[in-house]
Structure formats: C-alpha cells, structure tokens
C-alpha cells in the first residue's frame, strides 16, 4: 500500500514538473513574440516619444522669460511708455496754454468793454434837445424829405465854380454801381458847363414818397429849372426827378443814411406820357 502511494506521488510530481516546463516554454515564446512585436513597432513608439519631447520643448518657457516677464520686449515697452508720457505732457501743456490764452482774452475783453463805455459816456452831450424816433427799416418822412431836397440841390444848383464839388458830394451818397454810371454820364455835362459858363438853379415842388416797408423809398418830385448862360437868362424848363433811396448803416456820422440807388432826371412831358401809359390812358 505504501509503495502504491509513493508511486502515485512520483507520477504527480513528474506531471507537475512537465506542466511547469510547458508553462515556462509558453512564457518564453510569448516573451519572444512581444519582443518581436515591440521591435516592429519601435519606429512609431520612438516617433511618439520624440513628439512628446518636442511638445515639452515648445511648452517650456523661452530663456528670455524671467519670472513671467519677457525681457526681449522690455525696450519696446519702455519706449511705448515714454511716448505715452510725452504725449500726455504735451496735451497738458497745450491745455495750459489754451487756458492762459482764454484768461487773457477775457481780461482783454473786459478792459475793452470798459474803454468803450468810457468812450460812450464821453460822446453823450451834456444836454439833449430832442430825440428822433427810429423804426426798423423806416425813417420819419421829414428826414426823407430833407435828404431828397439836399440831393436835388447838389444835382441841380450848379455853375462853373461848384459843379465838380457838388457832383462829388452827391456821389458820396450813391451806391457803387450808380456812382460809376453817374460819373460816365455827367462827364459831357461838366465839360459843357465849364466851357460855356452855364449856371442853373432849381426849385422843388411837392414830393411823393413811396416806402416799401423794407428800407427802400421811391421819391418823386417836379422841379423847375432856371438856366443862365454867360449871365443871360434862358427859358425855364419843367422836369421830374425820381430817386430810389435805401436806408444804410451809419458810416462816419452817428446817424442813419439814405443811399441813392437809382436816379432819373426826366422832362415833364416824358414823365406825363409815361404816367398815362402806366394808367392805361
């Protein structure tokens, strides 16, 4: 019985050793296959490792970055900050200059206003005898009548000694366009008066003033002209003088002026014919 047991144990031990040998052989074969497979995939594995190294290199901070600061851009940053500081200082300087200019302008304006007030006080007379009422774009009728009579006197009361002076004074009250035309048209008259010794004076009849409410006036009046030639009286003649006047701002005198914009001197016969035509007679 004991011999059978020993024999069975020896068989089991032999089978176990054989099985272990088979397992060892299988593991060796598996190891060889793994090595072969690893060699076959060696290029791809190495490429992956290399990529990991390159990625690590890219992720690593460059040598120019120290404690989170890129020292390669320090010069540009310093230049930018310097430019910003200079620009800010320039703007502050410009603002300061403007402020000083405005303050000086204010003081100058106040000083000028004060001087103008002094001038105004000096211009006011000590005693005011009367006040002329002035309405925008209008003047009192008396003022228009006086101006018209004055203009007609300069135009019609002439002789060799005063014709140039009278006409020059009259042109001072004319518009620029009328002044040019008047100078051209009266040149032959001046020459004739000086050469022939002609003298004339006029009497003004009843005047008609037609305002348009916008600063314009049409004044019409009949005049009687009394001519003398070398001291000899000539036959009087009847005429009409028509002026278109305009209110203009004062120039030298402290008063509103009436400027002559249009001037016509027509014989009474022609004027009456024109009037009848306008009325349709």
Q: What is the mean pLDDT of each run of 10 residues along the chain (281 residues)?
A: 54 65 70 64 47 51 57 60 80 84 81 60 51 58 89 94 95 94 95 94 93 86 94 93 87 69 92 77 48
Distance CA 271, CA 277 (A): 10
pLDDT at 44: 46
What pLDDT, on a 0 to 100 scale, did the predictor assign at position 265? 93
pLDDT at 172: 92
Residue-level pLDDT at 124: 47
197 contacts 169 by C-beta, under 8 angstroms: no
32 within some domain: no
Interacting residues of 228 by C-beta distance below 8 A, sequence separation 6+: 198, 199, 200, 234
Domain co-membership, 235 together with 164 = yes
Q: What is the pLDDT of residue 96?
A: 84
Is there a domain that residue 42 lies in? no
In terms of Cα–Cα distance, which of 154, 148, 117, 171 is closest to 218?
148
38 contacts: CB under 8 Å, gap ≥ 6: 45
Q: Are residues 272 and 166 in the same domain?
A: yes
- Shared domain for 61 and 152, answered yes or no, is no
Range of the domain at 102: 51-118
Q: Is 160 helix (H, G, I), strand (E, B) or coil?
A: coil
- Position 49 scores a pLDDT of 43
The verdict on residue 270 lying in a domain is yes
pTM (two decimals): 0.51
Clarify whether residues 156 and 77 are in a common domain. Answer: no
């Amino acid at each position: 019985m004991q011999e059978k047991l020993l024999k069975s144990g020896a068989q089991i031990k032999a089978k176990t050793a054989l099985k272990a040998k088979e397992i060892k052989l299988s593991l060796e074969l598996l190891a060889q296959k793994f090595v072969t497979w690893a060699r076959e995939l060696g290029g791809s594995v190495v490429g992956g490792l290399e990529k990991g190294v390159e990625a690590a290199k890219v992720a690593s901070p460059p040598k120019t970055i120290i404690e989170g600061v890129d020292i390669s851009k320090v010069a540009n940053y310093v230049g930018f900050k310097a430019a910003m500081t200079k620009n800010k200082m320039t703007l502050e300087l410009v603002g300061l200059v403007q402020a000083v200019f405005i303050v000086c302008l204010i003081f100058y304006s106040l000083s000028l206003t004060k001087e103008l007030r002094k001038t105004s006080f000096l211009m006011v007379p000590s005693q005011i005898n009367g006040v002329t009422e002035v309405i925008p774009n209008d003047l009192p009728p008396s003022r228009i009548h006086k101006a018209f009579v004055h203009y007609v006197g300069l135009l019609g009361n002439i002789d060799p000694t005063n014709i140039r002076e009278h006409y020059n004074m009259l042109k001072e009250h004319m518009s620029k366009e009328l002044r040019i035309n008047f100078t051209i048209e009266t040149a032959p008259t001046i020459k004739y008066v000086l050469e022939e010794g002609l003298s004339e004076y006029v009497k003004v009849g009843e005047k008609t003033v037609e305002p348009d409410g916008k600063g314009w006036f049409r004044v019409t009046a009949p005049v009687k002209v009394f001519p003398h030639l070398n001291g000899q009286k000539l036959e009087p003649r009847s005429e009409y003088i028509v002026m278109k006047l305009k209110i203009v701002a004062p120039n030298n005198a402290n008063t509103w002026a009436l400027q002559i914009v249009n001037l016509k001197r027509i014989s009474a016969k022609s004027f009456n014919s024109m009037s009848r035509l306008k009325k349709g007679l």
